[in-house]
Amino acid sequence: MPPSPLDSPAPPQRGEYIAHVDVNSFYVSCERVFDPKLEVRPVIVLSNNDGCAVARSAEAKALGIEMGAPWFKLAADADRLGLVAKSSNYELYGEMSARVMKLLGRFSAWVEVYSIDEAFLGVSGTVDELQALGEQIKSEVFRLTGLPVCVGIATSKTMAKMANKTAKHIKELGGVCVWDRAPAQTTESLLARLPVVEVWGIGPRLTKRLRGLGIWTAKDLRNANEVRIRDKFSIVQMRTVLELRGIPCIPMEEERAIKDQLIFSRSFSDPITDRVGMEQVMGIYAQQASARLHKHQKQAKILSAWAMTSYYNQHQDHQPAITVKLPGPTADPVVLTRAAKQLLPQILIGVKYARAGVVVMDLQPCAMQETFDPFISAHEAKQIGPLIQQIRSEHGVKSIGLGRAGLQQGPAWEMRREMMSPRYTTHWRELLTVKAA
């Protein structure tokens, strides 16, 4: 039956929705909770090594400070601008995150923790009920943690993210945006003004290629032929097109009990140009990976190691990498170190390597039972890894280490603070040597 002006208003439709909750400038907001003087000032939080800005307050953004802006370019002007920079305090952020996520569990039994400061919630109701729910989430999180969040609610994850972005940008919304509650005219114009790079899942490379197809805005992408998009790009981008139409294609996920891989990688304060230096790095990184595997009670079946020159090094570009099948599932530092050092033959003398990393993959939980395994290594059987961890916890992390990674007087790069992540570095730079094999 065609609608007529005499019809009573449609009864409010209850529907299944997804709420996206995101803490505003998360790291900065955490700092502000414990240091209110930072309110109203432009504040940034720096990455490891105090390398670049990874979180910016609204005031800092207003100063034109970009995400990833290198601190060395900002430091000179900081005083003049009244800019406050803080080094990362990941322990603090992790704990604040846990508080927020626990709170969100009160509003939905279906919470997917997407990142340290974001979650998706399965919710349902009329758009007005959802508006009230969003406002309640926002005020309760603030009341109980001191952290400001925005809430976006829509029928797909991509649109929930879009709604959240809208809530952040249009301050009249008060930090909550229920997409379907806004007049179509409004949402259409929002999509038409939003550059396609702002869409969740569309990065700079895809943006360039999409422009070649005449797709510049979120609206252009939504209206694109999804099959054509799939053929030109991949199934992922086709899903994005459908999600922009409000059709959920990205399911809510269970918490991943077992991560697929674990990475330890760092940039060096000074480049490494020889195999001895790289050998030491591989030893340290492999032992870090081992420690994390132990902590999570996991074992790995595959190890990759890689090194690379700086992205900014115009003269050299070398990215050696290896992948090694481990003799069996293991977290043993001796086995992992030996595997990681297989990268060394590929290291070219004189090339300035700027970073390196160790990746362990194909992770599985440690078997609880003590099974007979003819392939288990001698060190593993003797539990060298757990022993090292225990000694470190009792005598400090500088007390013990394997091979070159245990040298207390390492080469210059090792002593630079830039080598270290804010939490772990203060520990593992002070290792001693022990012969384990």
State the alpha helices, DSSP H only, in 224-315.
226-232, 235-244, 275-295
Residues between 147 and 176 that touch DNA (CB under 7 A): 161
- Helix H, strand E, coil C: the string for 319-370 is CCEEEEEEEEEECCHHHHHHHHHHHHHHCCCCCCEEEEEEEEECCEECCCCC
Cα angle 179, 202, 90; round to 5: 85
Q: How many residues does the chain have?
A: 437
Write down the residue that tokens 């952020």 correspond to. Answer: 93
When binding is defined by CB under 7 A, the residue of 189, 261, 390, 393 that contacts DNA is 261
Q: SS3 for 302?
A: strand
For residues 46 and 127, which CB has a smaller minimum distance to DNA in the complex?
46
Residue 423 CB, shortest distance to DNA, in Å, is 10
63 binds DNA (CB under 7 A): no
Q: Answer whether 148's CB lies under 8 Å from 24's CB.
A: yes
* 293 contributes a contact to DNA by CB under 7 A: no
- Positions in 312-371 near DNA (CB under 7 A): 312-313, 321-323, 325, 352, 354-355, 357
For 150, other C-beta atoms within 10 Å of its C-beta total 24
Using CA atoms, how far apart are residues 109 and 212, in angstroms rounded to an integer?
43
The H or E element spanning position 191 is helix 184-193
Pattern 402-421, DNA, x by CB under 7 A: -------------------x
Out of 81, 252, 263, 407, the only residue in the binding site for DNA (CB under 7 A) is 263
Question: What is the size of the binding site for DNA (CB under 7 A)?
Answer: 53
Q: Is position 283 an interface residue for DNA (rule: CB under 7 A)?
A: no
Site for DNA in 92-131 (CB under 7 A): 114-118
Find the shortest distance in angstroms from Cβ 331 to DNA: 14
Residues in region 225-244 near DNA by CB under 7 A? 234-236
Tokens of 338: 């030996």
Residue closer to DNA (CB basis): 234 or 383: 234
Nearer to DNA, 175 or 320 (CB): 320
Q: Which stretch binds DNA (CB under 7 A): 37-45, 211-219, 304-312, 370-378?
A: 304-312
Please tell me whether residue 60 binds DNA under the rule CB under 7 A.
no
DSSP, residue by residue, 91-151: HHHHHHHHHHHHHHTTT-S-EEEEETTEEEEEEEE-HHHHHHHHHHHHHHHHHHH---EEE
Give me the least distance between CB of 144 and DNA, in Å please: 21
Measured between alpha carbons, how far is residue 315 from residues 16, 184, 310 in Å? Answer: 55, 53, 10
**Stretch of 64-72, 128-136, 168-176, 403-411 contacting DNA, by CB under 7 A:** 64-72
CA gap 244, 327 in Å, rounded = 46
Smallest gap from Cβ 105 to DNA, in A, equals: 19
In the complex, the residues that contact DNA under the rule CB under 7 A are 47-49, 51-52, 54, 68, 70, 72, 114-118, 161, 199-207, 234-236, 256, 259-267, 271, 302, 304, 310-313, 321-323, 325, 352, 354-355, 357, 421
